[in-house]
Amino acid sequence: MIRNFMKNTFWGMCVCAFFLMTTTMGRTQGVVPRAGDLSVSAFSNNQDGIDGKKHVGIGAAYTYNLSRSVSVAAEYSYQGMGSVSASIGGYSVSGSERYQKFGGAARWNLGNAHHIVPYFVVGAGYLHGSARASVSGYGSASASGNGDYAGGGGGINLFLTRNMGIRPEFRYERWEFYSNGQSAGTNVPVYGASVFFQFGGKAKSSK
């Protein structure tokens, strides 16, 4: 359900942005060379949580535009994977799980439009997963695993005002966890959307 919601949100944002942009023609400036942007995002993927459900994650990023065509970004994301609790033999048992990603990305922006700028993206970084369990009267225990991820995809910069916009994006990633000389991996499609604010740099005047 959550995955379908994120897919529908992805396309819904594109449609809404199209109508919003009809009221901002001439006021947007597109990707500005040497400008930065800050963004916050929400996303979903195909990973089941400890409760057997899909969960929405959140993220933040700082992007710097090397030129109108190339942007680089530092990214962080957090995805809580749910929690469970039960009463077993008179004891209260609970558990929770989460993922965190720390990485970077590069975007290749297509065209010089001021309103709609599609792009290709590649990204990679560090992946950390952790879980915690507790039993009443016996305390708690935790476990964690480290790994890495890499992937690519595409998206659209949709400029709604001179400095602000939304960025629906899809990536297909490979996650690998390592422990005791062993590795385990999975392929992860990620659907997301972010709101960004661009600042600084030097823009060409709109005609």
Stretch (H or E) spanning 19: helix 2-21
Spatial CB neighbours of 157, under 8 Å, sequence gap ≥ 6: 30, 31, 109, 116, 117, 118, 119, 165, 167, 196
Looking at residue 118, its pLDDT comes to 95
| Structural contact between residues 132 and 96, judged by C-beta atoms closer than 8 angstroms | yes
Looking at residue 92, its pLDDT comes to 86
d(CA 184, CA 96): 21
| Tokens describing residue 153 | 């995809």
Residues of the chain predicted below pLDDT 70: 1-27, 203-207
Of residues 139, 86, 116, the one with CA closest to residue 22: 116
